[in-house]
Structure 1
Amino acid sequence: MTLFVSVSAAVAGLLFGLDIGVISGALPFITQHFTLNSQQQEWVVSTMMLGAAIGALANGWLSSALGRKYSLMAGAILFIIGSLGSALAPTVEILMISRVVLGMAVGIASYTAPLYLSEMATEDIRGKMISMYQLMVTLGILLAFLSDTALSYSGDWRMMLGILAIPASLLLILVVFLPNSPRWLAAKGRHIEAEEVLSKLRDTSEKARQELQDIRESLKLKQHGWELFKMNSNVRRAVFLGMLLQAMQQFTGMNIIMYYAPKIFEMAGFTTTHEQMMATIVVGLTFMLATFIAIFMVDKAGRKPALKIGFSVMAVGTLVLGYCLMQFDNGNASEGLSYLSVGMTMMCIAGYAMSAAPVVWILCSEIQPLKSRDFGITCSTTTNWVSNMIIGATFLSLLDAVGPAATFWLYTALNIAFIGVTFWLIPETKNVTLEHIEKKLMAGEKLRHIGQ
């Protein structure tokens, strides 16, 4: 049962990654087809994130009222509608609307899948399961880059976007057979069903009964996220920490590499579409392979060490990448600098994949009290997509305004700041039950101590 749950949630991650990656290769051909300026290109990219923010907001209610299973089902249906709408769009406006629908699906998946996994897994493998979800996101990005490269010779951007409907249909079929989350069932008073699900997921019936008892204890106060947010300062601390974590993840600047990789490699001296797409594939492969580091490290070394190392690697990578692009901007082009730019891009992505990409989602699913979990994760996930939309909608404008070097050095400064925030504020939660984290939080412990 645990394996089937992991595989099904992973397909949601695959779709998430496909949607993030596919626009990178399709954008140059969409730009040519519709004759788009820089601002219109930014909106083709960022309308997906607008939809994701809407989806995350709506899914706070959807996930609480209908459950994690039916939220994933709704997301799969929206994936199918959005991908087919994008592929068939007769105008750029219709394309943007379809991208909003796709974004709503991504917002639902990015909210529900990690939450569902965190509620189905035991504390000793929780980080690994959510990191596996992140691995599928990176695999989706890589597959999107490969698909884009294969279709780039014909310039068939409609096929690039429409192919997403195939895995979306698979997700819809798989979700039909998923069980509901035992935590959600218990929250709805369906304790017998919750114990039945736990019995299939845990080694012994005794473990299942004990976990259900722990869940019931934490459910004695009804879930009223907004009311608790207003009344309880400890709930507010958890919500704001989740929002900060998601903003930090996005303002590392790594997703601009996912969205604008061919543009970045064009600035780095790769003049042909083939060269740009091959370099993009190398980045996607790096992203996927580096995620394995997180899978094996996050439940052993912990969350904080991964973040400290990752932010440091990204700071160095963006610093050197900015220098390389400055040389090209000044006319000092060389083949060596082109390959160094690819190497630094790979370094940035590796640092992101082993740290902020999976760890932030893990932490956000762990730190919210059960009574306000849906509200807290709604706030943090919405923050992720609003932040994502901001970086997607400003990158080309920043390049025009301050140049490539200053743009990447801005992200260097932000990554250095995030190292300090990690030391000062972020808790270590490896091998700690959700109930224990909640108890320490509600007792007023400092945020960095709630996992101790």
Structure 2
Amino acid sequence: MSYVSDTPRIETPQERRARRMNLFVAISAAVAGLLFGLDIGVIAGALPFITDHFTLNSHQQEWVVSSMMLGAAIGALFNGWLSARLGRKLSLLAGAILFIVGSLGSAFAHNLEVLLIARVVLGIAVGIASYTAPLYLSEMASENVRGKMISMYQLMVTFGILLAFLSDTALSYSGNWRAMLGVLALPAVVLLAMVIFLPNSPRWLAANGQYAQAERVLRMLRDTSEKAREELEEIRDSLKVKQGGWALFRSNRNVRRAVFLGMLLQAMQQFTGMNIIMYYAPKIFEMAGFSSHQEQMIATVVVGLTFMLATFIAVFTVDQSGRKPALKIGFTVMALGTLILGYCLMQVDNGNLSTGISWLSVGMTMMCIAGYAMSAAPVVWILCSEIQPLKCRDFGVTCSTTTNWISNMIIGATFLTLLDSIGAAGTFWLYTALNLAFVAITFWLIPETKNVTLEHIEKNLMSGKKLRDIGS
């Protein structure tokens, strides 16, 4: 007869060190996500007051919103070079400094031109953070928790949005838009301090020939020295490809497939239309019949809370249920939500405003945001950091992240124009059609990558497997 001991297993010193280091890495990247979310969220509450202060028309309001996306596209594009040459750590450091400069510049802007320049600087910081943090986490985490760690980063983005909405609501009574924009400087200082103590990515170190340092970092992150050595050997194998970056993209069809898939995924994420609800939430609730600015801001806080809570679904399911099921469900939910939201806004346009229509609009907005938060918001960043080969990862993630922000800029810069030209209902029905198309693309093209190492995904890709099968 055999007996199973009830004595709990004692954690080894190396396991304890690895757990603490992984936690510190996750928290540091989470602060970058918090800043990302704060910057997205604050403009929703500040825009009405900025509009009054500088007497802006609709196109100038679009500039204030989309200037950040322009900067983010520039930051993502430039950060491909910065991250490849100087490493993920120094990229995050540069992003933290630019967050401080941009937030203080926005808060003290004395005219529209200065505000737009400061918003572009903030956008560059956001572009760096949105590029580097998911990439850094994907290269630091082991395959069984990689999705959860990147989802936690996205969770902090949503927490930042919620905090921004809460601070905007509190400051809306005084109309202090400068304080709304300046609050970003505080967590940026915290990020700056934390990044100083982060190790560099072991995959970046290995790609630059620093194998001994890469192994030291892997020993800090993994439970056993054997796991660290095995992972380093897999990384060495993936580095045997002689070319890299643009040269590898140009010469290798399989690499081009991965890069274009990453760009498609980021365009899909943005053209769901969900960031519109983030940027113009008070405007949407005004159309739905919430007349006072305080009512609009309170409804916006509810949206931010929904966004954060729904992201927990992704955190706890993305490594178990997978990436594809989340995307299929999320795009379907967003299509249904925008369809009904368009109907509600059509009733408002026709003068059929009622309390029921107003609250149904809020409910559909929350449903759309929940669908986005549990699917495209975190999963697209996870997939884009997983599918690129190591020797072309910086180039590939540069292309996909830049696509994200160019798409984001297009969405932000055209929303009010679409409202004027095809109406609120037509605008949201356009997003319904796009979300239905994205469901079909997910079935046809998107791979499932849960619990698969980055090196195995790369091996499948480079062997010519269909894109939807590279995670098998």
Which TM-score band (shorter chain)? Answer: over 0.9
Distance 2:101 2:273 in 1: 29
Greater Cα offset, 211-220 or 263-272: 211-220
TM-score (normalizing by structure 2): 0.95
Distance 1:346 1:118 in 2: 30
Distance 2:255 2:204 in 1: 19
Instruction: Give 1:1-40 correspondences, 5 Å limit.
Output: 1-40=21-60
Instruction: Give 1:81-96 correspondences, 5 Å limit.
Output: 81-96=101-116
Distance 2:83 2:216 in 1: 21
Amino acid at match of 1:90: H
Instruction: Give 1:100-249 correspondences, 5 Å limit.
Output: 100-222=120-242, 224-249=244-269
Instruction: Give 1:253-402 correspondences, 5 Å limit.
Output: 253-402=273-422
Task: State which structure, 1 or 2, has the greater radius of gyration over its C-alpha atoms.
Answer: 2
SS at match of 1:124: coil
Distance 1:330 1:46 in 2: 30
Q: Compute the displacement of 1:318 (Å).
A: 0.2
SS at match of 2:280: helix
Distance 2:108 2:241 in 1: 49
Amino acid at match of 2:312: F
The aligned counterpart of 2:4 is none
Residue pair 1:286, 1:349 contacting (<8 A) in 2 also: yes
Matched, 1:72 2:56: no
Q: Compute the displacement of 1:297 (Å).
A: 1.0
C-alpha distance 168-145 of structure 1, shift in aligned 2 (>3 A): same
Distance 2:340 2:468 in 1: 32
Amino acid at match of 2:273: G
1:203-261: per-residue Cα shift (whole Å, max 9, x none)? Answer: 00010011011111111224521111111110100000000000000000000000000
The aligned counterpart of 1:412 is 432
Distance 1:205 1:117 in 2: 20
Amino acid at match of 1:384: N
SS at match of 1:403: helix
Distance 1:406 1:21 in 2: 25
Amino acid at match of 1:232: N
Q: Compute the displacement of 1:14 (Å).
A: 0.2
| Unmatched 5+ stretches in structure 2 | 1-20
Matched, 1:440 2:455: no
1:150-192: per-residue Cα shift (whole Å, max 9, x none)? Answer: 0000000000000100000000000000000001111111111
Distance 1:400 1:223 in 2: 50
Amino acid at match of 2:72: A
Distance 2:341 2:443 in 1: 26
Distance 1:368 1:445 in 2: 14
Amino acid at match of 2:265: L
SS at match of 2:458: helix
The counterpart of 1:97, out of the listed 102, 109, 117, is 117
Residue pair 1:223, 1:370 contacting (<8 A) in 2 also: no
The counterpart of 2:451, out of the listed 419, 427, 431, is 431
Amino acid at match of 1:206: E
Distance 2:387 2:290 in 1: 44
Amino acid at match of 1:441: L
Residue pair 1:287, 1:349 contacting (<8 A) in 2 also: yes
Amino acid at match of 1:141: I
Distance 2:206 2:438 in 1: 37
Distance 1:222 1:70 in 2: 26
Distance 1:178 1:198 in 2: 13
Distance 2:146 2:345 in 1: 40
SS at match of 1:89: coil
Distance 1:179 1:232 in 2: 32
Residue pair 1:50, 1:100 contacting (<8 A) in 2 also: yes
Q: Compute the displacement of 1:92 (Å).
A: 0.6
Amino acid at match of 2:430: L
Q: Compute the displacement of 1:21 (Å).
A: 0.5
Percent identity over the alignment is 81
TM-score (normalizing by structure 1): 1.00
Distance 2:248 2:225 in 1: 34
Amino acid at match of 1:191: Y
1:36-85: per-residue Cα shift (whole Å, max 9, x none)? Answer: 00000001000000000000000000000000000000000000000000
